[in-house]
């Protein structure tokens, strides 16, 4: 049976994936949603990878999905697990030796965000707040629930370099949220083409597309699985 391994972004809460996980389970898929030690100041990327590997256990035929910061962890688990497909969703695509902390300047994320803000009529000099950049397409019920699961990300992971010399030899797909204000879709296209030589597929929703549009994201993931079969 195909197992989806869902890796969250900053903060490390598996709850982020609950809508996707529920829908995948409804469609008969096995799902492992991983809680990462994001707020542990002693835990960097190696500890994140160990956590994922331990959560998966002896499962095989894995589809590993990494969200945002999870884009650093997801490829690192591939040499240690029987992964058949790797998917990054609004993901930070790393280069060898790069830390997540270096990724922002290396990719020009801030300039891309500011340019997108100006295009969409927001003040590019305004504070980068949760409501504007992460919660804008969520219902109030989702916003309230997310506050209960929100936790800070320690600096440890951001200081850990990406240790693979080459991208893992695993079929890879990239998904971008069409309405992502934090990692604008055109920015994600540029980074994915530059670093992986591929153009992302788009789904509706912002940076937290798995919360705002879980059905559409599941449809895209399932399409990848069928294409790779």
What pLDDT score was predicted for residue 104? 98
Lowest mean pLDDT among 151-160, 187-196, 200-209, 215-224: 151-160
pLDDT confidence bin for 151, thresholds 50/70/90: confident
Name the DSSP class of 23: H
What pLDDT shows up at residue 122? 97
Whole-number pLDDT of residue 206: 98
Query: Contact at 8 Å (CB) between 6 and 51?
Result: no
Between CA 42 and CA 31 the distance in angstroms is 27
Report how many domains make up the chain.
Answer: 1
Which domain, by its residues, includes 78? 3-228
Weakest-pLDDT range from 52-56, 83-87, 149-153, 179-183: 149-153
148: CATH: 3.40.50.1820
- Strand 83-89 and strand 172-177: pairing? parallel
| Residue 229: per-residue pLDDT | 81
Q: Which pLDDT does position 150 carry in this prediction? A: 84
Average pLDDT of every residue of the chain = 97
**Which pLDDT band, with edges at 50, 70 and 90, does 42 fall under?**
very high
Q: How confident is the model at residue 180 (pLDDT cuts 50, 70, 90)?
A: very high
Span 29-55, average pLDDT: 97
202 Cβ contact list (under 8 Å, min separation 6): 175, 176, 177, 178, 185
- Of 90, 46, 52, 73, whose CA–CA distance to 183 is shortest? 90
């Amino acid at each position: 049976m195909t197992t989806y391994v869902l890796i969250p972004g900053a903060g490390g809460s598996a709850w982020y994936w609950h809508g996707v996980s529920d829908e995948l389970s409804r469609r008969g898929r096995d799902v492992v949603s991983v809680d990462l030690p994001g707020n542990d100041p002693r835990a960097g990327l190696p500890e994140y990878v160990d956590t994922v590997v331990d959560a998966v256990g002896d499962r095989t035929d894995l589809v590993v999905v990494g969200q945002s910061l999870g884009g650093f962890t997801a490829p690192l688990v591939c040499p240690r697990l029987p992964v058949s497909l790797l998917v990054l969703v609004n993901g930070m695509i790393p280069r060898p030796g790069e830390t997540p902390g270096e990724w922002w300047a290396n990719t020009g994320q801030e300039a891309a965000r500011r340019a997108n803000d100006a295009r969409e009529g927001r003040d590019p000099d305004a504070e980068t707040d949760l409501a504007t950049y992460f919660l804008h397409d969520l219902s109030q019920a989702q916003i309230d629930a997310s506050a209960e699961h929100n936790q800070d990300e320690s600096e440890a992971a951001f200081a850990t370099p990406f240790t693979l010399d080459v991208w893992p030899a695993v079929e890879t797909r990239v998904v971008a949220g069409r309405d992502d204000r934090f990692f604008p879709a055109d920015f994600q296209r540029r980074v994915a083409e530059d670093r992986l030589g591929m153009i992302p597929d788009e789904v509706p929703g912002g940076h937290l597309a798995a919360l705002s549009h879980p059905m559409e994201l599941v449809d895209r993931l399932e399409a990848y699985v069928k294409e790779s079969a």
